[in-house]
Structure 1
Amino acid sequence: MPAPTSTPRTLYDKVYDDHLVYSADQALIYIDRHLVHEVTSPQAFEGLRTAKRIVRRPDCTLATVDHNIPTISRKSFKSIHSFIEEPDSRAQVGALEDNVKEFGLTYFGMGDRRQGIVHIIGPEQGFTLPGTTVVCGDSHTSTHGAFGALAFGIGTSEVEHVLATQTLPQKKSKNMRINVEGALPAGCNSKDIVLHIIGLIGTAGGNGCVIEFSGSTIRELSMEARMSICNMSIEGGARAGMIAPDEITFEYLAGRPLCPVGEEWDQAVAYWKTLKSDAGAHYDVEVEIKAEDIAPTLTWGTSPQDTVPITGTVPDPEKATDPIRKNGMKRSLEYMGLQPGQVMEEVKIDKAFLGSCTNGRIEDLRSAAKVILSAGKDAKVAEGVYAMVVPGSGLVKQQAEAEGIDVVFKKAGFDWREAGCSMCLGMNPDQLKPQERCASTSNRNFEGRQGQGGRTHLMSPAMVAAAAMTGRLTDVRKFVGENVSDHPEIKVTSVFDYMDAAIPSPAPIPRETKIVDPNAKALPEAVDPATAGLPKFNVLTGIAAPMSTANIDTDMIIPKQFLKTLERTGLGKAAFFEHRYDQKTKEENPDFVLNKEPFRRANILICTGANFGCGSSREHAPWAINDFGIRCIAAPSFADIFYNNCFKNGMLPIVLPPAELEQLHADASAGQELTVDLERKVIVRPDGKGEISFQVDDFRRHCLINGLDDIGLTLQHREEIEQFETRRTATWPWLDGLGYAKKGGKVPVKPASPQKKKMDW
């Protein structure tokens, strides 16, 4: 562990420092907890299999299915093969089930009532703990930062890296603090706080930063409310969001199946209490917010930064001073079918969605149920509106049913579903139809996010319930007023009444192929040939495609219907699919740049709009662009995860000032070739117009030039990893998979049912 320092440190500094395996050209940090799901893992497991590698720490890995499974009733469920109708979804879920058996991982399948959205089951089971590093192939892994954990989304290459090494190469982020002080006005909750924040700082406001949320308002929030805020920190551009652990945190965790007990619990709490920022700690960016300025908030456009109070109106793009922002607003309004000045409370909806990793917990369902009960004894969902509730996990569903919440919803006309991601991203049958408008508790309102042509307004669970009951976007205060107390018809229960004790994980199925021993001696200092797994990037000369759109998100780069793949290749045809093709005729759109000559042959992309690649951590976006033939992208800024994913795939993202990008954009628009010389770190303009220099991390440059992959490089440091693990066990023994791998230990939690599923702990 790092030596004590007298320099004041932030919460992020402390957790980062405590996980440094080594710090050289690029730091390597240890990963305590790895969550795995069906969409971003198939290619990672195949990579392990091809390289004859094992999962280094099965005790620190937890898998479930959530993204594209059906949420219809499972009363007739027997197997995924008979239950899941969509072949691609069935193949992904089947691949995960095969992989967890082969590699000996703990798995919550569709027949297990603990199954649910990864970012709900982790905290629910006590798998998420303060001071840990948590990763998952999903951008909303930031949720777990509510516990004082350093939690962030990763791409598939990094999923494979963690499985093989239990570490990740990381460059330290900047520190950002958002301090919220005061009492929240009536009708407001954590979703309103975070939407207000994103509307203030923008979707790129936290780029390059880990945000610490602090202040009296944050300290008063429950753990479930804190999770909602950290969940959406990624929508503000941050690498992660964190909140210092406190007594509210400890009370939430105590007694959960995978939490430490006895003496180890006392040791853990003593350590967790040190996880707060020191007085005088430095923050690179600080934002102060008064809680009294926050109102019930929702989105009007196609970016989470497009927010407005429910009492407000649709903004006018003509008042925007930035031309790129103005054009983006116009496009959003056209897509959303709204007009400048339109009153938000007059906008009618077609569907209402309650669920997602942002707002699918028991407190979220309770708050929505209170609104329904406040509407009157016989209140019903408005005519013409379809409303659905998707609990975040099987245990949330069971608890809600015990409390009578399901009856409240069903009596009002809501569809009561099974756990899953559902309409948050519409990878399963739960989707919007073109031009359908949805009041949603999810986290993204990108074009097509909830269904091709669907229109999404993000808001709190209470606001969604209000909209469902009135048939239009509605100020929830008209229902609840100043009454924010528990409703007598909701019988609040304890989550511990529904939890099983933890039992040992199944042993891996014997494999025929020889596996690399993780305890083998360290590789020699020379680079092993197995690390040369990427095409080398030295000098790239070719056509550059010009773009000028800001906030090009991962859903725009590759829509969700192409994510149900078990391969990394063949996605080039899907790149920018909804822009390249007319969605009615399926013919090429002649106006889209990549359909024009010579740009359909481009291998460089010049974009003058900021925040390229924002959105999901899934690696499919760079896979699609790379497969199209584009190996270099230049932009004013990139979303952190997309930026990292590019390097994992042998691609070069270049950050340049707007003035220099305008020059390159003009060259590209003229159809002239550019040359990207990575060795000299310059872009050569055509016709002797000169060169433009760019900066890139020396270590990443070295890897691109030599075609080196991260896993092979990391495995040269086996000895350091093993030494770190030895110190980790001695210092933080509760992190060694307590409850399902550590001596088969059981946690004394009263099980709700004596039945044990086939692949239980």
Structure 2
Amino acid sequence: MSAPRTLYDKVFDDHVVYSGEGDTLLYIDRHLVHEVTSPQAFEGLRNAGRKVRRTDCTLATVDHNIPTVSRKNFKSINSFIVEADSRAQCVALEEHVKEFGLTYFGMDDKRQGIVHIIGPEQGFTLPGTTVVCGDSHTSTHGAFGALAFGIGTSEVEHVLATQCLPQAKSKNMRIRVEGKLAEGVNSKDIVLHIIGVIGTAGGTGAVIEFAGSTIRALSMEARMSICNMSIEGGARAGMIAPDEITFKYLKGRPLSPRDGEEWDKAVAYWRSLASDEGAKYDIEVEIKAEDIIPTVTWGTSPQDVRPILGSVPDPSDFPEAQRGNVKRSLEYMGLVPGTPMEEIKIDKAFFGSCTNGRIEDMRSAARVIIASEKNGGPSKVAEGVYAMIVPGSGLVKQQAEAEGLDVIFRKAGFDWREAGCSMCLGMNPDQLKPQERCASTSNRNFEGRQGAGGRTHLMSPAMVAAAALTGHLTDVRKLMGNRISEDGGLKITEYADYLTPVTVSAPPVEATEQTESGPTPVQAAAAASAGLPKFNIVRGIAAPMWEANIDTDKIIPKQFLKTLLRTGLGSALFWPARYDVKTGAEIPEFVLNREPFKHASLLVCTGPNFGCGSSREHAPWALNDFGIRCVMAPSFGDIFKNNCFKNGMLPLELPQSDLENLYKDAEAGLELAVDLENEQVIRPNGQPPVPFKIDAFRRHCLLNGLDDIGLTLQHRELIENFEEKRTTVWPWLDGVGYAKKGQKVVAVPVGGQAKKKMEW
């Protein structure tokens, strides 16, 4: 008898194409594509003469860059999107889906929306699948029992070309939440509480399985919110075992298995995915539901949480090693220790994102508005506050309007918008101004995340609605009173009313023709994809840094992601700390603005979790473009670490004591050398070298500048054999909804979601 396996083990094992030297080669079932992380990937395909291997397993949309203003007069992306770089990325995607024959939900398609909302909405996301996207919040799809994780642009190209990815096996981590939630507490409070307990690095190197009676009682939308923020706890992915609630949600969706024999076979397989009794976990965490109350963030990391009835912390409350980071966060947020959280005033309220932009989230906020008015509380957005509501997809917007939610919001003074990522990351016109404070349903409160100098407090949809009405952070339970469990008389409609067939062929798009002045930005954006510079000995000045949790937004903020190239980002490296956000002038004290560190080729950081946060490959691109090919730190964010290897860079994990010594060398402006051949860091003045060890296969690839895609294609026959097995065992994964040109699928009415715990 085989050893008991976890949910993660089972899904991972079912997708192994090849296991030998180096990482295991995994087959990828579902690939979601958006405009920000794909241009360079498609250019790489074109330059190498490669096609998309499985167009039936790829779904594309625009979301990050697009404006969320009315589309009443929309004609084309070229005329609608004003900002040039944003327009170029969206035009690039339209050209690429046309060239490579992909299914595309464009801005004139009511199914367009945020990738992590349209995937489940269409039944594209299914239990037991592997799901990837060039976006760190791909972990959302783990709510269905899928192994879903974010990838960098090089990996986007890899999946497009091979439908596979080399992956190391992660650790198993289980977080059990047991008990009944108090009234007024929902999934966002659960996940913020969890991150506060484990920290932003607590899940590093692991896939988290969320389990326990509290999780099982949640709706699918609530489960998605929890898995969405797994990445904020440092995890590679988050997963929840599929059950009856999952099956009811999926039944009848356009790309779900067809009703009848195929559906029954799929459900039988999905039931087998639950972790076996006695399965072993590397890390286990127990959380009591009764310990969770409405929770908000106070700082610039998702781990900086406080219950709403608490107060702003004092740096002295933290271990000495953390106090510097706490002081910086408080200064950035403009907060004074000891201030009650409920006394913090806001300027804006943002409702949306892949975390909380679904219909259930909107019902939750609408209930707060209705209950507050009935209880004699405020019924309109507070004076001086701007509040916006951004549906996660066109179908969510349509359903909300059918239920009259938009009327409730508009009457209360909320701005009702079109679908998109919006102010979650401010790559579009929806942004905070410097020092503006926002109550947000999004997933990150990093410095500058919602706009340069903007201050973000994360919380649930209900809490954002409460803050918008009162003008300050507020315990929503005070507005709800004894109506906390009531639906407020909302009209709940069936999702089936909004399902439409998915057709195969990409809708026609306007070609951006070459002009007399030269090629279009898309045609001009050529980037080499085959082969990497060899990494043997990298010698030079090392820049010293001490901060913990240096996230990808600090390494390169979102405004520099609007590029079609892999190069030219060195000047934007560490922009928020390197330049004054108002004037753009260099800050003389920042290390990379000082001699000799202006010419650094190495970086030594004594703080852990370097590169946490987003999947944006732009972070290593910026470091590389500046001239830094090796970063030394105690630990790294998983996706950042992987992205470094994909670009011929070395993320080098070293013991703290060795880093302290190297930091002193770097601070003195002395030259260091990283010798990968002999696996040692050579110190100056005859001091003993620092030995290190990295994975033998990674080392081999770096020393020889090997291209991952070329290595994978050596296993072409094994990939084809796996695909034959896949069609036989899991036929519903072959993209029957749009595999053949012109084919259509007629949606079947949905049976309705489970009437269990629902976001209120």
Q: With the length of structure 2 as denominator, give the TM-score of the two structures.
A: 0.94
Work out the CA distance in 1 between the residues paired with 2:745 and 2:8.
30
1:393-414 deviation line (CA, Å, top 9, x unaligned): 0000000000000000000000
Contact 1:186–1:481 (Cα < 8 Å) also in 2: no
Shift of 1:584: 2.7
Work out the CA distance in 2 between the residues paired with 1:713 and 1:248.
41
State, as a whole percentage, how many aligned pairs show the same letter.
76
Q: Which residue of 2 aligns with 1:333?
A: 330
- Aligned with 1:633 (options 631, 639, 663): 631
Alignment of 1:683 with 2:681, yes or no, is yes
SS in 2 for 1:634: strand
Shift of 1:111: 0.2
SS in 2 for 1:367: helix
Contact 2:370–2:488 (Cα < 8 Å) also in 1: no
Contact 2:172–2:283 (Cα < 8 Å) also in 1: yes
1:647-705 deviation line (CA, Å, top 9, x unaligned): 00000001111111000000100111111010111111111110111121111110000
Work out the CA distance in 1 between the residues paired with 2:119 and 2:484.
28
Alignment of 1:485 with 2:482, yes or no, is no
Query: Superposition RMSD on alpha carbons, in Å?
Result: 1.6
Alignment of 1:12 with 2:5, yes or no, is no
- Aligned with 2:233 (options 218, 233, 236): 236
Work out the CA distance in 2 between the residues paired with 1:481 and 1:248.
29
Shift of 1:582: 1.9
Q: Which residue of 2 aligns with 1:757?
A: none
Work out the CA distance in 2 between the residues paired with 1:486 and 1:745.
44
Contact 2:183–2:485 (Cα < 8 Å) also in 1: no
SS in 1 for 2:142: helix
1:551-597 deviation line (CA, Å, top 9, x unaligned): 10111011111110000000000001121112233221110001111
SS in 1 for 2:715: helix
Question: After the TM superposition, which residues 323-362 of structure 1 pair with which residues of structure 2 at under 5 Å, given as runs?
Answer: 323=321, 325-362=322-359
Q: Which residue of 1 aligns with 2:138?
A: 141
Q: Which residue of 2 aligns with 1:543?
A: 541
Amino acid of the residue matched to residue 673 of structure 1?
Answer: E
Q: Which residue of 1 aligns with 2:587?
A: 589
Q: Which residue of 2 aligns with 1:607?
A: 605
Alignment of 1:376 with 2:373, yes or no, is yes
Contact 1:354–1:464 (Cα < 8 Å) also in 2: yes
Q: Which residue of 1 aligns with 2:413?
A: 413
1:218-245 deviation line (CA, Å, top 9, x unaligned): 0000000000000000000000000000
Shift of 1:387: 0.2
Cα 1:482–1:176, aligned 2, differ >3 Å: closer, same or farther? farther
Contact 2:187–2:223 (Cα < 8 Å) also in 1: yes
Q: Which residue of 1 aligns with 2:294?
A: 296
Amino acid of the residue matched to residue 296 of structure 2?
Answer: L
Q: Which residue of 1 aligns with 2:458?
A: 458
1:85-144 deviation line (CA, Å, top 9, x unaligned): 001111000000000000000000000000000000000000000000000000000000
Q: Which residue of 2 aligns with 1:523?
A: none
Q: Which residue of 1 aligns with 2:104?
A: 107
Shift of 1:750: 6.1
Contact 1:501–1:751 (Cα < 8 Å) also in 2: no
Amino acid of the residue matched to residue 641 of structure 1?
Answer: I
- Aligned with 2:272 (options 271, 274, 282): 274
Amino acid of the residue matched to residue 655 of structure 2?
Answer: P
Alignment of 1:165 with 2:129, yes or no, is no
**Any gaps of 5 or more consecutive residues in structure 2?**
512-527, 751-760
1:146-198 deviation line (CA, Å, top 9, x unaligned): 00000000000000000000000000000000000000011100000000000
SS in 2 for 1:7: coil
Alignment of 1:24 with 2:33, yes or no, is no
Work out the CA distance in 2 between the residues paired with 1:463 and 1:740.
40
Question: After the TM superposition, which residues 77-96 of structure 1 pair with which residues of structure 2 at under 5 Å, given as runs?
Answer: 77-96=74-93
SS in 2 for 1:96: helix
Q: With the length of structure 1 as denominator, give the TM-score of the two structures.
A: 0.94
Question: After the TM superposition, which residues 130-529 of structure 1 pair with which residues of structure 2 at under 5 Å, given as runs?
Answer: 130-261=127-258, 262-323=260-321, 325-376=322-373, 379-506=379-506
Work out the CA distance in 1 between the residues paired with 2:639 and 2:250.
29
Cα 1:473–1:730, aligned 2, differ >3 Å: closer, same or farther? same
Amino acid of the residue matched to residue 661 of structure 2?
Answer: Q
Alignment of 1:36 with 2:36, yes or no, is no
1:438-463 deviation line (CA, Å, top 9, x unaligned): 00000000000000100000000000
Shift of 1:743: 8.1
Contact 2:312–2:338 (Cα < 8 Å) also in 1: yes
Contact 1:497–1:750 (Cα < 8 Å) also in 2: no
Shift of 1:742: 5.2
Contact 1:131–1:149 (Cα < 8 Å) also in 2: yes
Work out the CA distance in 1 between the residues paired with 2:351 and 2:584.
33
1:529-565 deviation line (CA, Å, top 9, x unaligned): x996100001111111100011101110111111100
Shift of 1:506: 4.6
Contact 2:190–2:292 (Cα < 8 Å) also in 1: yes
Alignment of 1:571 with 2:572, yes or no, is no
Shift of 1:502: 2.7
Question: After the TM superposition, which residues 613-652 of structure 1 pair with which residues of structure 2 at under 5 Å, given as runs?
Answer: 613-652=611-650
Amino acid of the residue matched to residue 493 of structure 1?
Answer: T
Shift of 1:478: 0.5
Amino acid of the residue matched to residue 471 of structure 2?
Answer: G
Shift of 1:746: 3.9
Contact 1:543–1:601 (Cα < 8 Å) also in 2: yes
Work out the CA distance in 1 between the residues paired with 2:342 and 2:488.
29
Work out the CA distance in 2 between the residues paired with 1:699 and 1:604.
22
SS in 2 for 1:375: helix
- Aligned with 2:45 (options 44, 48, 68): 48
Shift of 1:740: 0.8
Question: After the TM superposition, which residues 729-740 of structure 1 pair with which residues of structure 2 at under 5 Å, given as runs?
Answer: 729-740=727-738
Shift of 1:503: 3.0
Amino acid of the residue matched to residue 693 of structure 1?
Answer: P
Work out the CA distance in 2 between the residues paired with 1:673 and 1:242.
45
Work out the CA distance in 1 between the residues paired with 2:727 and 2:683.
55
Work out the CA distance in 2 between the residues paired with 1:506 and 1:382.
44
Shift of 1:751: 9.7
Most deviating of 489-498 and 283-292: 489-498
Contact 1:105–1:508 (Cα < 8 Å) also in 2: no
Contact 1:180–1:213 (Cα < 8 Å) also in 2: yes
Amino acid of the residue matched to residue 236 of structure 2?
Answer: R
Aligned residues: 728
SS in 2 for 1:466: helix
Work out the CA distance in 1 between the residues paired with 2:98 and 2:551.
35
**Any gaps of 5 or more consecutive residues in structure 1?**
512-529, 753-761
Contact 1:441–1:458 (Cα < 8 Å) also in 2: yes
Amino acid of the residue matched to residue 210 of structure 2?
Answer: F
Question: After the TM superposition, which residues 658-697 of structure 1 pair with which residues of structure 2 at under 5 Å, given as runs?
Answer: 658-697=656-695
Contact 2:501–2:747 (Cα < 8 Å) also in 1: yes
Work out the CA distance in 2 between the residues paired with 1:111 and 1:352.
27
Work out the CA distance in 2 between the residues paired with 1:749 and 1:617.
34
Amino acid of the residue matched to residue 17 of structure 1?
Answer: D
Work out the CA distance in 2 between the residues paired with 1:588 and 1:506.
46
Contact 1:532–1:707 (Cα < 8 Å) also in 2: no
1:693-726 deviation line (CA, Å, top 9, x unaligned): 1121111110000001100110111000000000
Cα 1:696–1:508, aligned 2, differ >3 Å: closer, same or farther? farther
